[in-house]
């Protein structure tokens, strides 16, 4: 897999993602073999990130463009848009392609 693959599972109808907005999401992350390596659901709290500013992996910054509140999206993120050559934790080895199931709960902007 060399390219980011984006599949909308549910189209949201709320506010759209914009650069600099605080996104409130729930997500699960999987390796290609189906191993779950992370889940905000399992932690019991949504994941918050500032969109489009390089604070998350590039696959998220590219993959959440145009997503709207209430939407659910699956991202197949090639390693170069994830962690590349780095080992992350015990489960994500170098050059791992990752799969994320993301639910966009809220888009908070300063306006």
Which phi and psi (to 5°) does residue 72 adopt? -130, 135
Alpha helices by DSSP H, the chain: 40-43, 58-63
pLDDT one-digit tens code per residue, 68-111: 999 999 999 999 999 999 999 999 999 999 999 999 999 999 86
Work out the pLDDT band at 1, boundaries 50, 70, 90.
Answer: low
Share of the chain above pLDDT 90, in %: 92
**For residue 17, pLDDT beyond 70:** yes
Q: What is the pLDDT of residue 2?
A: 83
Rounded average pLDDT over 19-35: 97
Residue 95, Ramachandran bin (φ over 0: left; ψ between -120 and 50: alpha; else beta): left
Share of the chain above pLDDT 70, in %: 98
Entry pTM: 0.94
């Amino acid at each position: 897999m060399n390219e980011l693959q984006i599949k909308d599972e549910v189209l949201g109808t709320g506010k759209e993602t914009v650069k600099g907005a605080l996104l409130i999401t729930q997500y699960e992350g999987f390796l290609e073999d189906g191993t779950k390596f992370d889940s905000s659901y399992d932690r019991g709290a949504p994941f918050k990130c500032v969109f489009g500013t390089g604070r998350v992996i590039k696959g998220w910054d590219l993959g959440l463009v145009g997503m709207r509140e209430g939407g659910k999206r699956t991202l197949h993120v090639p390693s170069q848009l994830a962690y590349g050559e780095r080992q992350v934790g015990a489960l994500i080895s170098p050059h791992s392609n990752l799969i994320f199931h993301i639910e966009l709960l809220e888009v908070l902007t300063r306006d």
